[in-house]
A and B are shown apart, each in its own frame.
Chain A
Amino acid sequence: MAWDNTTLFVDDDPADRAFRAEVRDWIAANAPTELCNRPTRIDPPELKPWHRRLYERGWIAPHWPKDHGGMGATLTQQIILFEEISRVGAPTPYPHGLNFIGPLIIDSGTPAQKARHLPPILTGDVTWCQGYSEVGAGSDLASLQARAVLDGDHFVVNGHKVWTTNGHFADWMFALVRTDPEAKPKQAGISMLLIDLKSPGVTVRPIQTIKGDAEFAEEFFVDVQVPRENLLGPLNEGWRVANKLLGSERFTTGHPRNAAVLLNKAYQVAELTGAGRTPGFRQKLASLEIDLLAFSAYYRHAASLHGHGKAPASMAPVIKIVGGELGQRASELLVEAAGPLGPQAEDLRLGNLALNPAGEMFEMRRVTVGSGAVEIQRNIIAKRVLGLPSA
């Protein structure tokens, strides 16, 4: 029997097992085969029909409460959906609307904001992007400078946002902007605005990534008028609003399967090139797989504790750090397995599978930097969990 590194991680709960079987059958019949295992990036417009199909099945927002169109599902069920979708190499919907701003609007939005914004997030008709980073505010996000000045019934926004995933495809941006430049600490002068990117004064420019995709963009705001009702939560409390996103919203981003998929590709490529017959390389692959098993066990353990309301404060940063670093190591082994084919720009063909080792590796550079670099995550654990003193 072939080795299956998910052997130990079967669902404990019979209801979860039944749900997984139901999802698996449906995915088998409905997965978008044209998008599965594609080595190139799938932009939001291409994803819309698949998003719509998941929406119509009622599975687009497992973690949202039922009265807002979600499933009110447990974290474990949310993970099961993610696992079954990615098991066949199908893409999962982008998280910016469904996992980031959606839950924030549910938590902090006005009835009007909920009525206007939640339905098109569910259907996939509206694409969102996250406007946090600026040139001078990356890891030190609280130093952001984009200004919003309240002028009667609207804000006037001026500034520059950058490294915005899907910014050039997005209809709307949720942005952190400075509304009180004098506030101390800096976090106290920040607000969350929902900005229609079709507004006059907004210029969006795509940025090519190291992989060669136009994954992200930058946006320039010159005297952009944003209606006052687009303020999410109270004025100057944007930092608090943004931090209400719990670790669970980012749970699937750090799923061990992301690294497992790359590792399996590395094994396949190693077979093709003969690298798999080198004991030293086999040792590296095994070592990574063992780390991945430990992380899978941790991930399951964390999800189960979360279900008992006992998830520790370290859970979200640990998943972010380990999931990211293992994914990165797996992608590096994939390139190493390819040997002289590693630097090849065009795709490799493996049977009916096309893959691009260098491209996969370049893409994985993002995961240890985006939404809080792993160094910042380690700082968080050091201070909040280990109780180490500040510098």
Chain B
Amino acid sequence: MELVLNEQQALLAESAIRLAAARGGPRRARALRAAHHDMDAEAWRAVIDAGWLATVVDEPQGGAGLGLFDLTLALEQAGKQILMVPLAEAAAAAWVLAKSGRAPSVLADLLAGTRLIVPATRAASWGYGDADLRHDPGANALDGAMSFVPFAPSADVFLVATDAIVGLVDRTAAGVAVETKAQVDGATASTVRFAGAALAQVLALGAAAQALTSALHEFLALAAGAELLGLAAGTHEITLDHIKLRQQFGRPIGSFQVLQHRAVDGFIDVELNRSLLYRVLAAFDAGEHHPAMASAVKARTSCAALAATRAALQMHGAVGYTDTHNIGLYYKRALALAARYGGELDHTARFSELTHAVSA
């Protein structure tokens, strides 16, 4: 269903559709994967110029004073066109920097596109263990590691966030080592190791750090959820086109009821998830934080994107099993984004803990 948008939001949504279609697309994503680039630098420049990052930063801090709702209009299109840019990550970093108010020049660089800052953070509920990171207040240095950090090879600065500290560390600082593994879609997940690595700046400590990190996790889950929603919507459109055209037994396979019902279920998932996401985002922007709702969004959008891409592969038949057809890339992208910042299983369990704690 359509969203009720104000004029500014409608303009943003339209420009996002145009930009993502012009700069993204599976062909482009495939070329980047072949060249071992986890990030599309040209598309990123266009995203910076379009001011998408500024949506989540208030005007006095150099932003547009909109919200995550508005950013998500763009994220949905980025997801739909497999735009390989760190939009969710850089926006999350910008939002945290703006909230802390401690590093205006770093924020300005990030918004101008001259320095890329991505979060290096981990929640216990995202699976595969918690962050193992210690802060030495005396030396103001970090020891330990943070795993599964996206876009680490392209980042200039890491926004390190734990329950004890939120701070900035330069990627090239002494004692920082980045070990990168490619993912199936061409993205990367890195382990960033810190051995007495100096913090360039501390943004928050103690309870303030815990609150900021928790909000950052919520932001990342919602932003990734928006990309997954767009990915599922894009998959649905490609699949509809395919089953309307592909002929077997003398008629389009989209005339068969079994395939029609699969397509309808994909459509319903997209519709429900869009309503859920935007409802939760409106609350988020109004300052109401519902961690359980963020988990609901990430669980459901992860599940739906995987279900949609699997159904799409089945409906594409043998060509879906090839590497040359685009639909397989959508499946791989869904896998990567669904696992990022906690998958369906992780977030469903977290939702359960947050909403219905087991009585002892």
Q: Is the CB of B352 within 8 A of A294?
A: no
B351, A290: Cβ atoms closer than 8 Å:
yes
Q: Is A343 an interface residue (CB 8 A)?
A: no
How far does the Cβ of A314 sit from chain B's closest Cβ, in whole Å? 7
Among A30-38, A87-95, A315-323, the stretch in contact with B:
A315-323
The answer for the CA separation of A388 and B296 in the assembled complex, in Å, is: 31
A residues near B358, Cβ cutoff 8 Å: 276-277, 282
B355 CB contacts on chain A under 8 angstroms:
3, 5, 286, 289
- CB of B36 within 8 A of chain A? no
Q: Do A298 and B263 touch across chains, with their CB atoms under 8 A apart?
A: no
Closest 3 CB pairs of A and B: A382-B260, A286-B352, A3-B355
Given A8-B290, A285-B356, A381-B264; 12 other pairs, CB 8 A cutoff: A3-B355, A277-B358, A282-B356, A297-B276, A297-B278, A302-B1, A312-B1, A312-B2, A318-B268, A381-B268, A382-B260, A389-B252
In the complex, A289→B349 CA distance in Å? 12
- Which residues from A are CB-within-8-Å of B299? 287, 290
- Contact B254–A388 (Cβ < 8 Å): yes
Q: Mark B269-287, 1 if CB is under 8 A from A, else 0.
A: 0011101101110010000
CB of B348 within 8 A of CB of A305, answer no
The answer, yes or no, to whether B4 is at the interface (CB within 8 Å) is yes
Interface 0/1 of B345-360, CB less than 8 Å to A: 1001101101110110
Q: A353 at the A/B interface (Cβ < 8 Å)?
A: no
Q: Determine whether B307 belongs to the interface, using a CB cutoff of 8 Å to chain A.
A: no
* Contact call B352/A391, Cβ cutoff below 8 A: no
A-B contact pairs, 9 of them (CB 8 A): A286-B351, A294-B300, A297-B279, A297-B280, A305-B2, A378-B261, A387-B240, A388-B263, A391-B255
Q: Shortest distance in angstroms between A93's beta carbon and chain B's nearest beta carbon?
A: 28
How many Cβ-Cβ contacts under 8 Å join chain A to chain B?
A: 133
Residues of B near A312 (CB, < 8 A) are 1-2
User: Is there contact, CB below 8 Å, between B276 and A294?
Assistant: yes
Cα–Cα distance between A293 and B292 once the two chains are bound (Å): 11
Among B240, B251, B275, find the residue whose CB has the most chain A CB atoms closer than 10 A.
B275
Known contacts: A305-B2, A386-B240. The answer to whether A290 contacts B356 by CB under 8 A is no
Asked if B267 lies at the interface with its beta carbon under 8 angstroms from chain A, I say yes
Chain A window 1-26, contacts with chain B (Cβ cutoff 8 Å), 1 for yes, 0 for no:
00101011100000000000000000
Q: Which of A5, A298, A322, A381 contacts B276 (CB 8 A)?
A: A298
Quick check: is B216 within 8 A (CB to CB) of the other chain? no
Contact of A7 among B273, B290, B345 (CB under 8 A): B290
Q: Tell whether, in the assembled complex, residue B255 and residue A300 are in contact, meaning their CB atoms are under 8 Å apart.
A: no
The answer to whether B263 touches A382, judged by C-beta atoms less than 8 angstroms apart, is yes
B82 interfacial contact with A, CB 8 Å = no
Across-interface contacts of A314 in B (CB, < 8 A): 1, 267, 271
A362 within 8 A of B: no
Asked if A43 lies at the interface with its beta carbon under 8 angstroms from chain B, I say: no
**In the assembled complex, how far is the CB of residue A250 from the closest CB belonging to chain B, in whole angstroms?**
17
CB pair B261 A375 closer than 8 Å: yes
Give the one of A7, A9, A287 with max B CB within 10 A: A287
Any B CB within 8 A of the CB of A113: no
Q: How far is the CB of B11 from chain A (nearest CB, A)?
A: 19
Interface size class of A (residues with CB under 8 A): 35 or more
Q: Is B29 an interface residue (CB 8 A)?
A: no
Q: In whole angstroms, what is the CA distance A289 to B292 when docked?
A: 11
Interface of B, secondary structure class, is helix
- Find chain A residues with CB under 8 A from B88 CB: none
B99 close to A (CB within 8 Å): no
The reply to whether B283 and A289 form a contact with Cβ atoms under 8 Å apart is no
Q: Kindly name the residue among B243, B263, B352, B354 whose own CB sees the greatest number of chain A CB atoms within 10 A.
A: B352
- The chain B residue sitting closest to A287, CB to CB, is B348
Q: CB within 8 A of A297: which of B252, B257, B272?
A: B272
**Interface contact A293-B276, CB-CB below 8 Å:** yes
> Are A385 and B267 within 8 A (Cβ)?
yes
| Interface status of A310 (Cβ within 8 A of chain B) | yes
User: Does residue B27 face the partner (Cβ distance < 8 Å to A)?
Assistant: no
Determine if A203 is an interface residue (Cβ-Cβ < 8 Å): no
| Residues on B facing A (Cβ under 8 Å) | 1-2, 4, 240, 243-244, 251-252, 254-257, 260-261, 263-265, 267-268, 271-273, 275-276, 278-280, 283, 290, 292-293, 296, 299-300, 345, 348-349, 351-352, 354-356, 358-359
Which chain A residues border B260 with CB–CB below 8 Å? 378-379, 382, 386, 388
**Also in contact, A267 and B2, with CB within 8 A (given A290-B351, A375-B261, A389-B251):** no
Q: Which of A276, A302, A322, A386 has the most CB of B within 10 A?
A: A386
Give A271-296 as 1s and 0s: 1 = Cβ < 8 Å from B's Cβ atoms: 10000110100110111011101110
Inter-chain contacts of B271 with A (CB < 8 A): 298, 314, 318
In the complex, what residues of B have CB within 8 A of residue A7's CB?
A: 290
Q: How far is the CA of A293 from the CA of B299 in the complex (A)?
A: 12
Measured in the bound complex, the distance between the Cα atoms of B269 and A321 in whole Å is 12
In the complex, which residues of chain A have a beta carbon less than 8 angstroms from the beta carbon of B345?
Answer: 283
Contacts of B268 in A (CB 8 A): 318, 321-322, 381
- Shortest C-beta distance, A118 to chain B (Å), equals 33
Q: Which of A282, A304, A315, A375 gathers most chain B CB within 10 Å?
A: A282
Chain A nearest CB: distance from B295 CB in Å? 8
Q: Does chain B have a CB within 8 A of A390?
A: yes
Contact B348 A8 (CB under 8 A): no
Residues 90-131 of A contacting B (Cβ, < 8 Å): none
Please, which residues of chain B bring their CB within 8 A of the CB of A349?
Answer: none
Contacts of A315 in B (CB 8 A): 1
A283 with B272: CB separation less than 8 A: no
A386 and B267 within 8 A (CB): yes
B255 lies within 8 A of A388 (CB)? yes
A244 CB–B CB distance under 8 Å: no
Complex Cα–Cα for A297 and B256 (A): 31
For B273, the chain A residues whose CB sits under 8 A away are: 294
> Which residues from B are CB-within-8-Å of A391?
251, 255-257
Q: Is the CB of A8 within 8 A of B283?
A: yes
Min Cβ gap A103→B in Å is: 23
B4 touches A8 (CB 8 A): no
Contact A301 B255 (CB under 8 A): no
Asked whether A294 lies within 8 Å of B244 as measured between CB atoms, the reply is no
A308 lies within 8 A of chain B by Cβ? yes
- Docked Cα-Cα span, A316 to B72, in Å, equals 27
A301-B1 in contact (CB<8A): yes
CA distance A381 to B269 in the complex (A): 13
B350 to chain A, nearest CB (A): 9
A294 cross-chain contacts in B, Cβ below 8 A: 272-273, 275-276, 296, 300
Contact A390 B264 (CB under 8 A): no
With a CB–CB cut-off of 8 A, which chain B residues contact A382?
A: 257, 260-261, 263-264
A310 lies within 8 A of B275 (CB): no
